[in-house]
């Protein structure tokens, strides 16, 4: 009886270890399925035309997503103008100046903001900007993405700034450098690769967002004329094409998704390996 | 403090303050936008299942139902898978597997949701139609949950795709929580003669269970707010059916589908109110999750001399 019990326990131990290994690789199946599908379905349509031409009307083969690629870059550019200063500034404030109570309120707010569904940001910007201006616009889309960047950048910046050793700050202050100069030229510079990681991660995140753009940037089948008009974006275009009934558009959707995911993954991998390795020196 | 310092500090303070400002403006603007609908329908909005833009009568029940059920299906699938992977990554995996494996799992979180949707429409939905639904119908068809026509598109596909999307979040957070458990816990159990699994179950998992619950709730938050992928596979039909094969609708997807076409003020206001409900739910879920994770990561409470 006792011997049996022991065998059972040992069996359970090994069996569960097997289950744990199995599931860890099982959860990767969707990842590989997505990547192989993207390559097999999308690669054929990714060509020079795809990057340089406008979408063609239904029924005509060919055409590309040049306007959507440029649109995404413009939207992300606008988002950076809003997200970078506020995000990095908040990070600096939290790490260098904060008093305890106000800082915990801000930290809590950023945490909560990063959990709010992206579509809610879309509604907010619609009510705030699109409705008063009576027009969907690139500006509104960029602002929606910019607001989404703030919590990601703020918290990561705070964390990496806190990793900078205090001795560096003290050394700078001892030389008579004012605090703001110390913060900008010593602390921020030491942690610059970490901050860059934060920026890359947030860019990767927002450049793939569709939901907040649905009723802010709206999408556009042509080149846009100015920032106050609707603008195309790669994820939006993929969405419209994917739910359309045309085979030709489906092919374009796969190609668009492949380009999109390549952009996102490069940003992610870049942030993860190249930059964080340089930054690892600080962590030691 | 010299002038430069004062200006700089003030500027940084303004940046931090603007975060607070944006967050409260978000709530207020949406509250304001939802007021007409709230005045007209009151709390009946939450339990009414009519959604009729022509008559200007709105009730959000089918959407709330769709969000809740699809998220539950997602958690049902995702929780065991991600918990087991987290245990493997934290306790079993050798370093040379751990790093690439956790990187790959985290990569799942980096894939844009519209790409998940595309994959869902062309790969997952046909697979559901041809494999999963016939299988479930054949073996469990006596339960109303698994009856009905098998389109592929519907609640089940939405649940599966949500599961795939929340797995990286639950895995990453539970792995961190498990790693935060002091070694002494496990060593004590091992010293008493337990097997590795028993040590993990009794000393590690029971120690950090509130953190793991937090991780699961955080995943729930992601599932509730997910928009694009769900919109593309759930079928976008506002109905409440017993079967999970049937097309349904969710709060986020009704906003995504109908917001830019909302013509009347009341229509728009009703949609904003759905968004407000989503906002409040996400807020509550996130606050609970953060609190639970924090209770583990702050370390053991009580007399530190004992440890």
Mean pLDDT of A245-257: 90
Can you give the pLDDT at residue B16?
Answer: 92
Can you give the pLDDT at residue B183?
Answer: 87
A105 → chain B, closest CA residue: B20
Alpha helices in chain B (DSSP H): 3-41, 44-47, 61-87, 95-110, 113-119, 125-127, 133-140, 155-179, 183-191, 196-199, 209-225, 228-234, 251-258, 265-297
Can you give the pLDDT at residue B199?
Answer: 93
What radius of gyration do chain B's Cα atoms show?
A: 23
Percent of chain B exceeding pLDDT 70 equals 96
Per-residue tokens: A213: 């753009």
CB contact under 8 A, B112 and A180: no
In three-state secondary structure terms, A15 is helix
* Distance from chain centroid for Cα A44: 27
Contact B192/A at CB under 8 A? no
Can you give the pLDDT at residue A212?
Answer: 93
Please report which confidence band the pLDDT of residue A228 belongs to, taking 50, 70 and 90 as the band edges: confident
- Domain of B108, CATH number, reads 1.10.3720.10
Per-residue tokens: B28: 């207020």
Based on the domain organization, do A17 and A97 belong to the same domain? no
Asked whether residue A247 carries a pLDDT value surpassing 90, the answer given is no
Please report which confidence band the pLDDT of residue A1 belongs to, taking 50, 70 and 90 as the band edges: very low
The mean predicted confidence, pLDDT, of chain A is 88
Contact B116/A at CB under 8 A? yes
Please report which confidence band the pLDDT of residue B278 belongs to, taking 50, 70 and 90 as the band edges: very high
Based on the domain organization, do A115 and A238 belong to the same domain? yes
Based on the domain organization, do A32 and A84 belong to the same domain? no
Mean pLDDT of B136-142: 89
Distance CA A260, CA A241 (A): 14
Mean pLDDT of B104-114: 91
- Domain span holding position B92: 64-253+277-297
Q: Is residue B208 part of a domain?
A: yes
Asked whether residue A279 carries a pLDDT value surpassing 70, the answer given is no
Asked whether residue B26 carries a pLDDT value surpassing 50, the answer given is yes
| Surface of A (196-255) touching B: CB under 8 A | 204-205, 207-211, 214-215, 218, 235, 238-239, 242-243, 250, 253-254
Which phi and psi (to 5°) does residue A117 adopt?
-55, 140
What residues are paired with A55 via a beta bridge?
Answer: A63
- Model ipTM value: 0.91
The alpha-carbon gap from B193 to the nearest alpha carbon of chain A, in Å, equals 11
| Surface of B (257-296) touching A: CB under 8 A | 259-260, 271-272, 275, 278-279, 282-283, 285-287, 289-290
Alpha-carbon separation of residue B248 from B68, B70, B75, B123 (angstroms): 11, 9, 18, 19
Asked whether residue A58 carries a pLDDT value surpassing 90, the answer given is no
Mean pLDDT of B262-276: 91
Q: Structural domain tally of chain B?
A: 1
Can you give the pLDDT at residue A282?
Answer: 52
- Domain span holding position A88: 46-283
Asked whether residue B140 carries a pLDDT value surpassing 60, the answer given is yes
Can you give the pLDDT at residue A21?
Answer: 94
Can you give the pLDDT at residue A284?
Answer: 42
Asked whether residue A238 carries a pLDDT value surpassing 90, the answer given is yes
Percent of chain A exceeding pLDDT 90 equals 57
Interface probe for B, chosen from A115, A145, A173, A176 (most Cβ of B below 10 Å), is A115
Express each pLDDT in A160-198 by its tens digit. 999 899 999 999 999 999 999 999 999 999 888 889 888
Q: Which of A215-224, A226-235, B101-110, B298-307 has the lowest mean pLDDT?
A: B298-307
Mean pLDDT of A8-36: 94
Q: Is residue B37 part of a domain?
A: no
The mean predicted confidence, pLDDT, of chain B is 90
Q: Is residue B51 part of a domain?
A: no
Asked whether residue B165 carries a pLDDT value surpassing 70, the answer given is yes
Asked whether residue A227 carries a pLDDT value surpassing 90, the answer given is no
Based on the domain organization, do A25 and A136 belong to the same domain? no
Can you give the pLDDT at residue A152?
Answer: 92
- Give B90-95 contacts, CB < 8 A, sequence gap 24+: B90/B175, B90/B178, B90/B179, B91/B178, B91/B196, B91/B200, B91/B204, B92/A17, B92/A20, B92/A21, B93/A24
Which chain A residues have a beta carbon less than 8 Å from that of B116? 34
Based on the domain organization, do A50 and A33 belong to the same domain? no
Q: Structural domain tally of chain A?
A: 2
Please report which confidence band the pLDDT of residue A80 belongs to, taking 50, 70 and 90 as the band edges: very high
Express each pLDDT in A112-160 by its tens digit. 898 899 999 999 999 999 989 988 999 999 999 999 999 999 999 999 9
Can you give the pLDDT at residue A50?
Answer: 85
Mean pLDDT of B28-52: 90
Based on the domain organization, do A148 and A228 belong to the same domain? yes
CB contact under 8 A, A92 and B12: yes
CB contact under 8 A, A24 and B5: no
Q: Which of A223-232, B19-28, B297-306 has the lowest mean pLDDT?
A: B297-306
Please report which confidence band the pLDDT of residue B23 belongs to, taking 50, 70 and 90 as the band edges: very high
Based on the domain organization, do A145 and A276 belong to the same domain? yes
CB contact under 8 A, B4 and A181: yes
For residue B224, how many other CB atoms are within 10 A of its CB?
A: 23
Distance CA A265, CA A263 (A): 6
B221 → chain A, closest CA residue: A115
Based on the domain organization, do A150 and A217 belong to the same domain? yes
Based on the domain organization, do A129 and A214 belong to the same domain? yes
CB contact under 8 A, A264 and B107: no
Based on the domain organization, do A34 and A52 belong to the same domain? no
The alpha-carbon gap from B148 to the nearest alpha carbon of chain A, in Å, equals 24
Contact B29/A at CB under 8 A? yes
Interface probe for A, chosen from B70, B90, B105, B112 (most Cβ of A below 10 Å), is B112
Q: How many Å is the maximal CA-CA distance in chain B?
A: 78
Q: Is residue B81 part of a domain?
A: yes
Based on the domain organization, do A26 and A133 belong to the same domain? no
The per-residue DSSP string of B98-115 comes to HHHHHHHHHHHHHS-HHH
Asked whether residue B306 carries a pLDDT value surpassing 50, the answer given is no
Can you give the pLDDT at residue A273?
Answer: 73
Asked whether residue B303 carries a pLDDT value surpassing 50, the answer given is no
The model's pTM is: 0.92
Can you give the pLDDT at residue B305?
Answer: 45
Highest mean pLDDT out of A52-56, A223-227, A246-250, B161-165 = B161-165
| Surface of A (44-83) touching B: CB under 8 A | none
Based on the domain organization, do A170 and A72 belong to the same domain? yes
Can you give the pLDDT at residue A211?
Answer: 93
- Domain of A80, CATH number, reads 1.10.3720.10
């Amino acid at each position: 009886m006792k011997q049996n019990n022991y065998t059972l326990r040992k069996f359970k131990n090994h069996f569960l270890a097997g289950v744990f290994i199995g599931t860890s690789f099982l959860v990767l199946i969707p990842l590989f399925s997505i990547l192989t599908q993207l390559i097999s379905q999308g690669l054929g349509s990714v060509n020079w035309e795809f990057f340089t031409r406008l979408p063609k009307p239904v029924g005509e083969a060919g055409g590309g997503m040049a306007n959507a690629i440029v649109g995404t870059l413009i939207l992300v550019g606008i988002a950076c103008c809003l997200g970078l200063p506020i995000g990095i500034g908040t990070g600096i404030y939290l790490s260098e100046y904060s008093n305890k109570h106000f800082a915990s309120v801000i930290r809590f707010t950023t945490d909560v903001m990063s959990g709010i569904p992206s579509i809610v940001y879309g509604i907010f910007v619609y009510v705030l900007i699109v409705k008063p201006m009576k027009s969907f616009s690139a500006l509104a889309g960029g602002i929606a993405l910019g607001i989404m960047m703030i919590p990601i950048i703020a918290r990561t910046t705070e964390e990496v700034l806190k990793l900078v050793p205090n001795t560096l700050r003290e050394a700078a202050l001892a030389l008579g450098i004012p605090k703001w100069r110390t913060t900008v030229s010593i602390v921020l510079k030491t942690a610059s690769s970490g901050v860059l990681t934060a920026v890359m991660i947030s860019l990767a995140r927002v450049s793939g967002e569709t939901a907040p753009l649905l009723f802010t940037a709206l999408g556009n089948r042509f080149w846009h004329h100015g920032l106050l008009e609707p603008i195309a974006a790669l994820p939006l275009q993929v969405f419209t094409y994917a739910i359309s009934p045309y085979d030709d558009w489906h092919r374009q959707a796969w190609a668009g998704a492949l380009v999109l995911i390549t952009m996102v993954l490069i940003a992610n991998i870049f942030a993860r390996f190249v930059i964080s390795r340089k930054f690892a020196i600080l962590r030691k | 403090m010299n002038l430069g310092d004062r200006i700089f500090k003030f500027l940084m303070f303004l940046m931090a303050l603007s975060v607070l400002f944006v967050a409260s403006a978000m709530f207020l603007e949406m509250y304001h936008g939802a007021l007409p609908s709230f005045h007209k329908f009151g709390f009946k909005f939450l339990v009414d299942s009519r959604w009729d833009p022509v008559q200007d009568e709105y009730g959000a029940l089918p959407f709330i139902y769709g969000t809740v059920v699809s998220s539950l299906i997602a958690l049902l699938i995702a929780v065991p898978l991600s918990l087991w992977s987290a245990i493997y990554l934290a306790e079993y995996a050798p370093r040379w597997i751990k790093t690439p494996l956790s990187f790959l799992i985290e990569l799942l979180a980096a894939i844009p949701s519209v790409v998940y949707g595309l994959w869902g429409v062309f790969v997952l939905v046909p697979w559901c139609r041809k494999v999963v639904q016939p299988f479930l119908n054949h073996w469990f068809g006596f339960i109303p949950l698994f009856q009905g026509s098998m389109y592929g598109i519907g609640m089940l596909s939405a649940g599966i795709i949500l599961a795939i999307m929340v797995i990286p979040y639950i895995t990453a957070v539970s792995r961190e929580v498990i790693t935060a458990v002091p070694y002494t816990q496990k060593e004590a159990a091992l010293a008493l003669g337990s097997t590795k699994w028993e040590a993990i179950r009794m000393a590690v998992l029971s120690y950090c269970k509130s953190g793991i619950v937090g991780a699961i709730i955080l995943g729930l938050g992601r599932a509730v707010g997910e928009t694009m992928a769900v919109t593309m596979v759930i079928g976008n039909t506002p109905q409440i059916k017993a079967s999970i094969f049937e097309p349904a609708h969710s709060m986020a997807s009704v906003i995504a589908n109908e917001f830019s076409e909302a013509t009347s003020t009341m229509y728009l206001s009703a949609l904003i109110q759905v968004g407000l409900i989503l906002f409040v739910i996400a807020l509550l879920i996130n606050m609970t999750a953060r609190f639970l994770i924090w209770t583990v990561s702050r370390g053991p409470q009580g007399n530190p001399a004992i440890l």
